[in-house]
Amino acid sequence: PDTGLLFDFGAMAGKVQKMLKNSLDSLVRLDGLLALEVIRADDEVDAMNREMYLRVSKALCDQKGNPNTLLHQFMIARHLERTADQATNIAEDVIYMIEGQIVRHKTEDYRMAHKKRK
C-alpha cells in the first residue's frame, strides 16, 4: 500500500542507530577514534533532516498530501536528528574525557586536526 512517505526513514534510522551504538561503545571502551566517527556521521543525518524539511515544505506548498501526515513525517525526521545530536554529545564528552579537549562548537577544527586518524 502507498504510505505517502516522502522519505526513506530506514536509511536515516539506520544511521542514527549506528551513531547511538558507536557513541555508547566509545564511552565504554574510551575509544576516541570511534567517538570521532560518531561526530563525523552527524553531518549526514543533519543533511537528511534538511532534505526531509524541503520535501515536506514543497508538498505543503503544492498542497500534495495530508498536512497532518506531512508534519508528522517531518517531526519523525526531526526526532531522529535530535537523537543523532545526543549521540554526538556523548561522543564529544568521550573525547573530552580522553584528551581533555572540548570539541563542542569546535568540531570542524577538531575533525581537520585529526583527519590522519581516520
pLDDT digits (tens, 9 = 90+) for 79-88: 999 999 999 9
Asked if residue 42 is part of any domain, the answer here is yes
The total number of structural domains in the chain stands at 1
CATH number, domain at 72? 1.20.58.220
Among residues 20, 14, 52, the alpha carbon closest in space to that of 37 is found at 20
Percentage of the residues of the chain whose pLDDT score is greater than 90:
69
Asked whether residue 36 is assigned to any structural domain, the reply reads yes
- Is 4 contained in some domain? no
Q: Which domain holds residue 81?
A: 9-117
Given pLDDT bands bounded at 50, 70 and 90, which one contains residue 11? very high
Res. 68: pLDDT tops 60: yes
In a domain, 30, yes or no: yes
Residue 17 above 70 pLDDT?
yes
Beta-carbon contacts of residue 24 (< 8 Å; ≥ 6 apart) = 90
Q: Residue 49 class from Cβ within 10 Å (0-12 exposed, 13-18 middle, 19+ buried)?
A: buried
In a domain, 45, yes or no: yes
Predicted TM-score of the model (pTM)? 0.82
Residue 50, pLDDT above cutoff 90: yes
